[in-house]
Structure 1
Amino acid sequence: MITLGFVYVLAGLAFALFAILGIADRTNPKRFGNAAFWGLLALSMLGGDRLGDFGNGLLVLALVAIAGAGQIGRAPGGDVAPDVQAARAAAHGHFLLLVALIIPAVALAGTFLFKYVPGLADPKQATLISLGIGVLIALGVGMARLKPPLLLPAQQGRRLLDAVGWAAILPQMLASLGAVFALAGVGEVVGTLIGSAIPQGSLFGAVLAFGLGMAFFTMVMGNAFAAFPVMMAAVGLPLLIKHYHGDPAVVAAIGMLAGFCGTLMTPMAANFNLVPAALLDLKNPYGVIKAQIGTALPLLTVNIVFLWLFAF
């Protein structure tokens, strides 16, 4: 049976390859920092279970130290010339888009297929496993048709990660922070504070508090996965599900969507909002956020209304 370990091994091998290619890049003055950062991340993916809690804690501190010291960065040059990009796009046309679409298509198909083929893959992790398989298929199709140098995809992937830097693993770190907050009882404390502000017996008040809370905590913590454990422990589970008998699947799904609205409006979601602005050389570093607010606020309103209508 294919398990989540397959995804960890795949990601670990990719990060290990980035570390090896990075240290071999003598044009990059930060090559040792890049190699150490991606190498440690590869170690966490490939051997995190064997390191134990203390070992993983030291590894995370080392990652923070490398990033905090500014030892991650991309080497100058190495970009494909614009005229070459235009020529390749004209030559291969829509095939380039097809390669990109293979990944979500395989992820969606595998999510449903693995549920009907028992024993083939862990059904609880079907989406992540399918996503990993989709990446491999897209890579194989692209290599077969475009015939680039063998290491070119890895080199360009490494250069992109070097440019993004520590923000590439921000979702993983913030999701872990959410789990820590949940274990520390932050959700219960927040629940007590919010509960005193919700009118007694008001279902819509509880729904509004949950939706707005998901968006707000996502803006503070930078990731809906980090906000979710806190708000579920505070409002979602005790009020919406247990007290008002809401559908857990609907509460969880729409609650996450409400949190994603907060992601669109916060610089704390650096990998989504600040890194693209830097890569696109926007004059305003918050230009992406300004462009998204007009969508985020109406979408948050719709999610709150949908939660009220469909969860109860």
Structure 2
Amino acid sequence: MIGLAQVYVLAGLTFTAFALLSARDASNPRRFANTGFWGLLAVSMFAGDRLGDFGNGLLVLALVAIAGLRGLGKGTGGSAAEERAANAERHGNRLFLLALVIPATALAGTFLFKQFPAAVDAKQVTLVSLALGVVLALVAGAIWLRPAPSVPLQEGRRLMDAVGWAGILPQMLASLGAVFALAGVGDVVGALMADVIPAGSLLGAVIAYGLGMALFTMVMGNAFAAFPVMAAAIGLPLLIHQYQGDPAIVSAIGMLAGFCGTLMTPMAANFNIVPAALLELDDRNAVVKAQIGTALPLLIVNIALIYWLAFP
């Protein structure tokens, strides 16, 4: 049966290739830092379930040490900038068709693989479909564009080097959210909110939940980190248990409310700071400033949708 283990192996092979290519890149003065960083990520993908909590904790500390003390450098390789510009000019917007292969495969596979529970783990059909979409896009690109065999991996490494440690920030922050939930932060927040939300007010609870998701996301940098806290504080005890809200709607649209917070915080470095750095913008917060005008009305809409749709 195909499941999460095979997806991890695919990711591990990819990061292994990035590590080996980094080690051979003499143009990068910090190539061995990059090699260690991507190599440790490969180890976590291949053997994370066998390392245990303590082993994975040490691995995370090693990643933090590499990124924080020495930092990662930017490697070279793949195609030259002139060649990429020429290809973009020749193929135009048709190049985006390759990117569309991934979500199209993920969507189709999510529905199709559920019909074959013996072949694909029913709990992981979306992730398996997403990984399959990446492989299909890679194959399609190789057939269409005919690059040298090493170019896709070199280009992937170049992009990851440009993003750096922020590339794994979502996973780190999601883990932080789980730690906060286990530590009882959600219960503390719930007790504080009980003094703020009017007694018996469904609307007040929904507003507190939506705003809390956005604000905690802004503080923690990721809606996946905020969700366990706000679910334990308001989502489960009030919206779902007390007011009989639909768990799927409360959770899904609650995450969308959190994503509105993602648009408004520099803490979401991989979304808001990295693009500014890649585009060499003078204002590091330019992306955040451009998104606030969309995020605020969208947050209001999401709160309204929870109120209108989640409750009988």
Matches of 1:270 and 1:79 in 2, distance apart? 27
Structure 2 gaps of 5+ residues are none
Q: Which runs of 4+ in 1 moved over 6 A?
A: 76-79
Q: What's the CA shift for 1:282?
A: 0.6
Matches of 2:45 and 2:78 in 1, distance apart? 28
Match of 1:45 in 2: 45
Matches of 2:77 and 2:95 in 1, distance apart? 24
Q: What's the CA shift for 1:78?
A: 6.8
Q: What's the CA shift for 1:76?
A: 6.3
Matches of 2:285 and 2:310 in 1, distance apart? 35
Deviations 1:48-72 (A, max 9, x none): 1111111111100000000001330
Matches of 1:203 and 1:267 in 2, distance apart? 32
Is 1:205–2:230 an aligned residue pair?
Answer: no
Match of 2:154 in 1: 155
Match of 1:90 in 2: 89
Match of 1:146 in 2: 145
Match of 1:189 in 2: 188
Matches of 1:87 and 1:251 in 2, distance apart? 48
Matched to 2:252, the amino acid is: A
Helix, strand or coil at the partner of 1:282: coil
Helix, strand or coil at the partner of 1:118: coil
The share of aligned pairs that are identical, in percent, is 68
Match of 1:115 in 2: 114
Is 1:15–2:18 an aligned residue pair?
Answer: no
Q: What's the CA shift for 1:94?
A: 4.2
Matches of 1:215 and 1:70 in 2, distance apart? 33
Match of 1:239 in 2: 238
Helix, strand or coil at the partner of 2:281: coil
Deviations 1:110-167 (A, max 9, x none): 1111112221211211111100000000000100111101010101111111111100
Helix, strand or coil at the partner of 2:70: coil
CA separation of 1:218/1:282 partners in 2, compared to 1, >3 Å: closer, same or farther? same
- Asked whether the 8 Å contact 2:173–2:224 carries over to 1, the reply is yes
Match of 2:253 in 1: 254
Q: What's the CA shift for 1:95?
A: 3.4
Match of 2:214 in 1: 215
Matched to 1:16, the amino acid is: T
Match of 2:32 in 1: 32
- Asked whether the 8 Å contact 2:78–2:150 carries over to 1, the reply is no
With normalisation by structure 2, the TM-score equals 0.97
Matches of 2:256 and 2:97 in 1, distance apart? 27
Matched to 2:266, the amino acid is: P
- Asked whether the 8 Å contact 2:77–2:155 carries over to 1, the reply is no
Q: What's the CA shift for 1:88?
A: 1.4
Q: What's the CA shift for 1:181?
A: 0.6
More displaced stretch, 114-123 vs 292-301: 114-123
Matched to 2:11, the amino acid is: A
Match of 1:101 in 2: 100
Match of 2:301 in 1: 302
Matches of 1:41 and 1:95 in 2, distance apart? 33
Q: What's the CA shift for 1:89?
A: 2.4
Is 1:65–2:62 an aligned residue pair?
Answer: no
Structure 1 gaps of 5+ residues are none
Matches of 1:124 and 1:286 in 2, distance apart? 38
Is 1:125–2:124 an aligned residue pair?
Answer: yes
Matched to 1:237, the amino acid is: L
Matches of 1:79 and 1:289 in 2, distance apart? 31
Matches of 1:95 and 1:296 in 2, distance apart? 30
Match of 1:227 in 2: 226
Matches of 1:142 and 1:207 in 2, distance apart? 46
**Over aligned residue pairs, what C-alpha RMSD do you find?**
1.3
CA separation of 1:183/1:154 partners in 2, compared to 1, >3 Å: closer, same or farther? same
With normalisation by structure 1, the TM-score equals 0.97
Helix, strand or coil at the partner of 1:274: helix
Helix, strand or coil at the partner of 1:284: coil
Helix, strand or coil at the partner of 2:25: coil
